[in-house]
Amino acid sequence: MEDSAERQRRRGPRLVNPWWLRATIGLIFLAALGTIWTTNAWLTDRFSENTRVRSELRLALYSGNLMSELQRNSVVPLLLARDPALIGALNGNDFSTTSARLMAAQKEIGAASIRLLDASGRVVGATDRYQIGTNSVAAPQYVEALRSRDTVFTVSELASGIHEFAYSRAVVSEGRTLGVIVVGADLTRLERSWAGISDAVAVTDSEGVIILSTEPRWRGLTLPEALAVRDAPSAIRRAFQVTADWTSSPADAYVQGRAVMQSEARVPFRGWRMISFTAYSSVRERVNAILALQIMGFAILLAGAFWVLSRRARIQSQAYMRESADLRALNARLTREIAERERVQKELRVAEQTMQQSSKLAALGEMSAGVSHELNQPLAAMKTYLAGARLLLQRGRPEEALSSFQRIDDLIDRMGAITRQLKSYARKGGEAVEPVDLRAAVSSALTMMEPQLRTRPIRVVRQVPRERVMVMADRIRLEQVLINLLRNAVDAVKDRREGTIEISVEAGAHAYVSVRDNGPGVSDLEKLFEPFWTTKKPGEGTGLGLAISSTIMADFGGRLTAHNETTGGAVFRVELPLHVPGQPRQALAAE
């Protein structure tokens, strides 16, 4: 018995049964196949959905930018068609200064081009002097503008294949059509910005024809025709493509030989639709990275099992201990890499959301539509007063007719004030500051918000002192802050039956402007001025307005604070140093 034990000790530890090792290796192999297949399907679906969501968010941003550009240019023909200088030039047939005036208007408004056509369709003034003298009597901008006395939008294809987008309106004076003003909208710059981010973007009209696209060959084609415009891949190239895409979801389409997913959104303008194509390559790279880690892990296990097959039990135990330490180190390294990957993805999402707003232009487009509606009411009243004055003159009552003419003159002054306010707000604010009366800034902001306030049952209470309250600020940016606070207050009380907004101006140690509402209040005051934090529904706000307003106040040496009332509602308070001539400006301490 002792001799048998001694022989066993000299032989060394008993080897593990190779049959069980082979069974274990087979189970590991099957588990690896099942795990990799399941992980690939799950990660592909998850990352594809994330990519699709980001694509839809980009489409919403692109659609908003497109609508903002169209709305910004839609009001320009109405303003230029009533320009006395242009009307006088058409009446007097003197166009020596017309082109210079149109160039000045183009520089101030930011339109792509402006043309003035006389009654015969001849271009008598243009920002592009090469177009002066050409005849556009058959152009759709001219024909459609003469048919309608309102502003019309036309899309025409040029000889180069590029589409021209223009707003036109007939110039009418004393019931006689003198000509047509045509304002072109530059949408190609949007194409260039889209091309720098998305793989491919196209905009189709109501008939399905592509009018805007980051792929120049697609313009003028329908979407199926555009997708068919691609080089036929060779057999070797197609084989590589099939090998690369065997684990991907079925592609929605192929753009330049690459499998892409297709996202579509409706543009709320004349039945337009926007389509974007996003390549699956980014999804495949992320999935392959994780699959590679899994394969590496299973490869280590299999290598360890084969290595164990040729060793004794004691060596096998030591190898398992070393392998366990290696796996722990690998797990820690993978944990760090996953944390770094999550941080990079979070920064990417923040960077994408930062590109989504041009809030001031969007607000200007919304208010421009309201101002256009406001101008229709004085026009209707003027027509009524003119009819009454004509009747009074026919009956020999000129004194009473003069009162009607006075009312008409008051209405004209009111219309001029509205258009001047819109034109002033459209200008970009500067960095220079000057003495500004807070009362005038509040009055201007209320005037800009008047169309929105009239459409809702909201009571506005204004309290301002009789004396001037002067501060050092840029008037345009100060009005932007006040308009943003008023818009937030309107949104806060829109569901109230008796909504109330109070705006007051006070002067003490400093100058104060308070905007108070009786809404539900602010849920989280600590995050209120953080960028991209908002309580509005998706699509209604971006969370940049208050952050921008707080930065503007800091630039003026002031601050913007907020608190909730105990009786309900929120109060936003603007505090600025008072301007005293001869004394240096002092900034307030930040809270």
**CATH code of the domain containing 468:** 3.30.565.10
Q: With beta carbons less than 8 A apart as the criterion, state whether 545 and 484 touch.
A: yes
Over range 190-196, report the average pLDDT: 77
Whether 112 has a pLDDT exceeding 60, the answer reads yes
Whether 572 maps to a domain, the answer reads: yes
Whether 477 maps to a domain, the answer reads: yes
Residue 523 CB partners (closer than 8 Å, separation 6+): 535
Q: With beta carbons less than 8 A apart as the criterion, state whether 43 and 81 touch.
A: no
Whether 152 has a pLDDT exceeding 70, the answer reads yes
Q: How far, in Å, are 84, 111, 486 from residue 420 at the CA level? A: 15, 18, 20
Give the residue from 189, 218, 234 where a domain finishes. 189
Q: What's the pLDDT score for residue 201? A: 87
Give the residue from 189, 221, 237 where a domain finishes. 189
Q: What's the pLDDT score for residue 8? A: 44
Whether 533 maps to a domain, the answer reads: yes
Whether 460 maps to a domain, the answer reads: yes
Question: How many percent of the chain have pLDDT more than 90?
Answer: 4
Whether 240 maps to a domain, the answer reads: no
Domains of the chain: total: 2
154: domain CATH number is 3.30.450.20
Q: DSSP E strands: which ranges in 297-450?
A: 434-437
Whether 237 has a pLDDT exceeding 90, the answer reads no
Whether 382 maps to a domain, the answer reads: no
Whether 551 has a pLDDT exceeding 70, the answer reads yes
* Owning domain of residue 512: 431-577
Using CA atoms, how far apart are residues 445 and 459, in angstroms rounded to an integer?
16
Using CA atoms, how far apart are residues 198 and 195, in angstroms rounded to an integer?
6
pTM: 0.40
Over range 380-402, report the average pLDDT: 77
Q: How far, in Å, are 149, 211, 212, 253, 471 from residue 202 at the CA level? A: 32, 8, 6, 14, 49
The more confident residue out of 183 and 580 is: 183
Question: pLDDT band at 515, cuts 50/70/90?
Answer: very high
Whether 467 maps to a domain, the answer reads: yes
Q: What's the pLDDT score for residue 246? A: 40
Over range 242-269, report the average pLDDT: 60
Q: What's the pLDDT score for residue 503? A: 93
Give the residue from 169, 189, 209 where a domain finishes. 189
For 450, the token pair is 């008047």
Q: What's the pLDDT score for residue 9? A: 44
Most confident of the following: 63-67, 180-184, 432-436: 180-184
Over range 208-215, report the average pLDDT: 84
Over range 523-541, report the average pLDDT: 63
Whether 12 maps to a domain, the answer reads: no
For residue range 137-149, what is the model confidence (pLDDT) as tens digits? 888 888 888 888 7
Question: pLDDT band at 75, cuts 50/70/90?
Answer: confident
The more confident residue out of 48 and 112 is: 112
The more confident residue out of 442 and 432 is: 442
